[in-house]
């Protein structure tokens, strides 16, 4: 396999390449988030007394979210092939002899597995076998940007490649999980109104749900920060490149947006989350959590631009 340097351009902001990569990132985050939220938050909570209906109520919106993620990955596949045809190595060598091509094939396998698993997860049964296949696809997914992006060409690869894998995985668990909380978790709570009551001293279901997500999101954000620091150190080489290069300036925008999202997340964790135990009002969480998710999606857009911005020389 040829170790061809990852091609980056200094094109304007919303180029086709930027939009395609944004679609891929959105698809990856939605797929990782829906699987992670189901496996790590909803399934454990559904085993608790009085919360079995939560798993059933969240099943359909989580499937739709996973379908949206898989669909975006499928749509981006042929668009990336158009890019491959314009690469100087030629279409066939790019697809079969480069790490860029290896990343594209991983995306194809992931999309195929995800669609297969979601087809099996049909009807009201929410079959575990299908979700197991989707979960396997989600674990493979971070390999695609690791192979198809600059992580495979920036030294030391022994650090940059694993850091990229963990960065994508952690972003999916945090941002994708946050979207799943808003789109599937909170709506599912409405179905618990007529269900059996839990113990009087037990926290309300909303507090349990948010606490369950926090136990996943906090370590994910920690991994996200550490892996990002490793990747950026390897790419920039010197702190001066953060201010003196186009790549560094785009990275500063990403860091500013990510910092704002993390501060909102900190507010939700320190202020909103504890209050839900006494006043379980979803509206108190929905607005700040939605703003956090919007900032996270903007971070993905800037990340897509960063991918096509030339690295410091």
Is the confidence at residue 2, as pLDDT, over 80?
Answer: no
Q: Tokens at residue 116, please?
A: 């297969």
The pLDDT of residue 241: 82
CB 216 within 8 A of CB 40: yes
End-to-end Cα distance, the chain: 25
75 Cβ contact partners less than 8 Å away, ≥ 6 residues apart? 23, 27
Sign of dihedral through CA atoms 128, 29, 155, 79? positive
CB atoms closer than 10 angstroms to residue 270? 9
User: Residues with Cβ < 8 Å from 183, sequence gap 6 or more?
Assistant: 61, 65
Q: How confident is the model at residue 311 (pLDDT cuts 50, 70, 90)?
A: confident
Helix (H, G, I), strand (E, B) or coil at 13: coil
Report cis status (omega within 30 of 0) of the bond before 305: no
Long-range pairs of 221-225 with CB within 8 A, sequence gap ≥ 24: 221/170, 221/174, 221/262, 221/265, 223/166, 223/167, 223/169, 223/170, 224/167, 224/170, 224/171, 224/174
The H or E element containing residue 249 is helix 246-267
- Which domains are assigned to the chain? 16-192+202-307 (1.20.1630)
User: Phi-psi region for residue 49, left (φ > 0), alpha (ψ -120 to 50) or beta?
Assistant: beta
CA angle 156, 249, 94 (to 5 degrees): 50
Q: Which residues of 136-151 are buried (b: 16+ CB within 10 A; e: fewer)?
A: ebbeebbbbbbbbbbb
Q: Over the stretch 238-287, which tens digit does the pLDDT of each residue have?
A: 878 888 888 999 999 999 999 999 999 999 999 999 888 888 888 889 99
186 contacts 286 by C-beta, under 8 angstroms:
yes
Mean pLDDT of 90-102: 83
Q: 115: which 2 tokens?
A: 């669609």
Q: What is the pLDDT averaged over residues 293-302?
A: 95
| 3-state secondary structure string across 17-65 | HHHHHHHHHHHHHHHHHHHHHHHHHHHHHHCCCCCHHHHHHHHHHHHHH
Instruction: State percent of the chain over pLDDT 90.
Output: 59
Neighbours of 243 (CB within 10 A): 9
208 pLDDT band, cuts 50/70/90, is very high
pLDDT digits (tens, 9 = 90+) for 172-199: 999 999 999 999 999 999 877 544 444 5
User: Lowest-confidence range among 92-106, 135-149, 198-212?
Assistant: 198-212
């Amino acid at each position: 396999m040829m170790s061809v340097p990852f091609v980056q351009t200094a094109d304007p902001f919303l180029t086709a390449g930027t939009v395609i990569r944004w679609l891929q990132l959105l698809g990856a985050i939605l797929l990782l988030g829906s699987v992670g939220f189901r496996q790590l938050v909803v399934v454990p909570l559904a085993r608790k007394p009085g919360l079995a209906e939560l798993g059933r109520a969240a099943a359909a919106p989580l499937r739709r979210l996973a379908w949206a993620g898989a669909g975006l990955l499928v749509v981006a596949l042929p668009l990336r092939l158009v890019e491959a045809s314009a690469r100087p190595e030629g279409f066939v060598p790019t697809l079969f002899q480069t790490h860029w091509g290896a990343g594209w094939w991983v995306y194809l396998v992931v999309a195929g597995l995800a669609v297969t698993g979601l087809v099996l997860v049909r009807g009201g049964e929410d079959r575990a076998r299908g979700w197991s296949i989707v979960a396997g696809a989600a674990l493979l997914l971070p390999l695609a940007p690791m192979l198809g992006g600059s992580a495979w060409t920036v030294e030391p690869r022994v650090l940059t490649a694993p850091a990229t894998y963990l960065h994508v995985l952690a972003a999916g668990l945090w941002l994708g999980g946050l979207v799943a909380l808003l789109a599937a978790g909170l709506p599912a709570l409405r179905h618990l109104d007529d269900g059996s009551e839990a113990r009087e001293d037990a926290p309300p279901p909303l507090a349990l749900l948010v606490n369950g997500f926090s136990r996943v999101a906090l370590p994910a954000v920690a991994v996200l920060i550490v892996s990002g620091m490793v990747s950026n150190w390897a790419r920039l080489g010197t702190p001066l490149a953060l201010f003196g290069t186009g790549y560094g300036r785009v990275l500063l925008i990403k860091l500013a947006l990510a910092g704002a999202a993390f501060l909102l997340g900190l507010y939700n964790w320190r202020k909103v989350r504890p209050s839900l135990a006494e006043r379980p009002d979803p509206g108190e969480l929905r607005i700040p959590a939605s703003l956090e998710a919007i900032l996270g999606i903007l971070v993905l857009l800037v990340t897509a631009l960063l991918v096509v911005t030339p690295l410091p020389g």
